């Protein structure tokens, strides 16, 4: 049995950005995940479910656990002194850590503290998503928004924690994707899946078909393609949708599938956040041999212009994403 801490030390020489500070940063996220996991497991027993009565900058009602997860991770990251600041889906603006150690932090972190948090009330899996960049402003100077508005291919690490039947931490530092399962009896994350890869072929498509009438024509045509019978391509595919990006992506990563959240009439630029959701998941997808696109271009090549920028999202098995892009491109011609 190999723990997350042991694995990080053992593999640190392989990391493109191997530093003790990055290891400490990942340890802070690990600690935050343990605390969030503990409180999620109390849902229904104490008053932590339901809405907080506060809306975030996107106008979405925050759940009580959204706020709790955000504050927990923020405190864990600040305490290490290796992170200069964070940007979060639950924060209106970037957060600059105001202590002497953090002023010299090499990294900034972007995060979705609790993805799919509305599922908590009905005991369905949720997750935490994180993305790590090296700052571009000189160390010792105040960080700027430009430190966060970097294209996804400049990430030095990314990952997620899924809180489900077991709690797993999945991450990559650019040398493959590795997954660790939490053992609550001893309080450690243990290596359970090393060098995770997407299957070469997939047969699952994940999309909220309740919005079918609002989807672009290309997405509608791809859904019809998924539903048609064809023995050569093992169709029809199976439809599976949980409503939590982390949960849907995790299943498709292990089983083989595609996750789609396209633009709609209500969200013409897409609904998912580029920096907190699309970029880190896209980084993991590519490291696992998959692909991530907005329907027309590589997600990791998009140059962001604002912290809470949205994007359509197609991610999963490479061939399935390629097929969906072909339908999108035909529609645009």
Least confident of 92-101, 214-223, 254-263, 269-278: 92-101
pLDDT surpasses 70 at 285: yes
Residue 60 DSSP code: P
Cα–Cα dist 249/256, whole Å: 9
> What is the β-pairing status of strands 178-183 and 167-172?
antiparallel
Tokens at 286, concatenated: 């590519």
Which residue in the block uniquely carries the two structure tokens 């590519």?
286
- Residue 54 has a pLDDT of 60
φ/ψ of 327, rounded to 5, equals -70, -40
Pair 145, 94: CB distance under 8 Å: yes
- Residue 140 has a pLDDT of 82
Outline which parts of the chain fall under CATH 3.30.540.10: 4-193
pLDDT digits (tens, 9 = 90+) for 184-206: 999 999 999 999 999 999 999 99
User: What's the half-sphere exposure (Cβ side, CA atoms, 13 Å) at 130?
Assistant: 32
Between 242 and 57, where is the model more confident?
242
Least confident of 36-40, 102-106, 213-217, 297-301: 102-106
- Residue 225 has a pLDDT of 97
pLDDT surpasses 80 at 253: yes
Does the pTM surpass 0.95? The reply is no
pLDDT digits (tens, 9 = 90+) for 301-317: 999 999 999 999 999 99
Q: What's the chain's average pLDDT?
A: 90
Cα–Cα dist 94/86, whole Å: 6
Cα–Cα dist 198/285, whole Å: 8
- Greatest mean pLDDT among 56-60, 88-92, 295-299 lies in 295-299
Cα–Cα dist 241/244, whole Å: 8
Cα–Cα dist 177/238, whole Å: 25
- Residue 52 has a pLDDT of 46
Let me know if domain 4-193 sits in CATH 3.30.540.10.
yes
Least confident of 80-84, 101-105, 251-255: 101-105
Pair 120, 245: CB distance under 8 Å: no
Question: Rounded to a whole number, what is the largest CA-CA distance in the chain?
Answer: 63
Outline which parts of the chain fall under CATH 3.40.190.80: 204-332
Q: What is the mean pLDDT of residues 135-149?
A: 92
pLDDT digits (tens, 9 = 90+) for 150-190: 999 999 999 999 998 899 999 999 999 999 999 999 999 99
Q: Which of 71, 53, 70 is nearest to 62 (CA)?
A: 53
Between 47 and 210, where is the model more confident?
210
Cα–Cα dist 236/282, whole Å: 26
Let me know if domain 204-332 sits in CATH 3.30.365.10.
no
Q: What is the mean pLDDT of residues 101-125?
A: 86
Between 265 and 238, where is the model more confident?
238
SS3 assignment, position 285: helix
- Residue 16 has a pLDDT of 60
Least confident of 45-54, 74-83, 139-148: 45-54
Which residue in the block uniquely carries the two structure tokens 């962001």?
304
Residue 98 DSSP code: -
φ/ψ of 308, rounded to 5, equals -105, 30
- Residue 286 has a pLDDT of 98
């Amino acid at each position: 049995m190999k723990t997350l801490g042991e694995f990080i030390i053992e593999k640190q020489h392989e990391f493109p950005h191997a530093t003790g500070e990055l290891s400490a940063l990942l340890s802070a996220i690990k600690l935050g995940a343990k605390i969030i996991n503990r409180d999620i497991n109390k849902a229904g027993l104490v008053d932590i479910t339901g809405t907080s009565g506060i809306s975030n900058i996107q106008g979405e009602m925050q759940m009580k656990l959204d706020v709790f997860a955000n504050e927990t991770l923020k405190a864990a990251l600040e305490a290490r002194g290796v992170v200069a600041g964070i940007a979060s889906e639950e924060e209106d603006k970037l957060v600059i850590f105001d202590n002497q150690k953090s002023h010299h932090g090499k990294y900034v972190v972007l995060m979705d503290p609790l993805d799919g948090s509305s599922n908590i009330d009905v005991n369905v899996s949720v997750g935490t998503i994180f993305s790590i960049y090296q700052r571009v402003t000189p160390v010792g100077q105040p960080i700027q928004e430009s430190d966060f508005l970097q294209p996804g291919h400049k990430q030095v690490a990314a990952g997620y924690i899924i809180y489900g039947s077991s709690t797993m931490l999945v991450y990559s530092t650019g040398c493959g994707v590795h997954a660790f399962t939490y053992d609550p009896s001893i309080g450690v994350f243990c290596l359970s899946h090393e060098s995770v890869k997407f299957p070469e072929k997939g047969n699952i498509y994940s999309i909220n078909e309740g919005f079918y009438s609002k989807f672009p024509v290309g997405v509608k045509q791809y859904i019809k393609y998924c539903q048609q019978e064809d023995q050569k391509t093992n169709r029809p595919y199976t439809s599976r949708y949980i409503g939590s990006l982390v949960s849907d992506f995790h299943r498709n990563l292990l089983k083989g599938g595609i996750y789609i959240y396209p633009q709609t009439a209500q969200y013409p630029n897409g609904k998912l956040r580029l920096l907190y959701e699309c970029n880190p998941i896209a980084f993991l997808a590519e490291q696992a041999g998959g692909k991530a696109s907005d329907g027309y271009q590589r997600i990791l090549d998009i140059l962001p212009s604002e912290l809470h920028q949205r994007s359509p999202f197609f991610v999963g098995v490479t061939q399935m994403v390629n097929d969906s892009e072909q339908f999108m491109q035909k529609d645009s011609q």
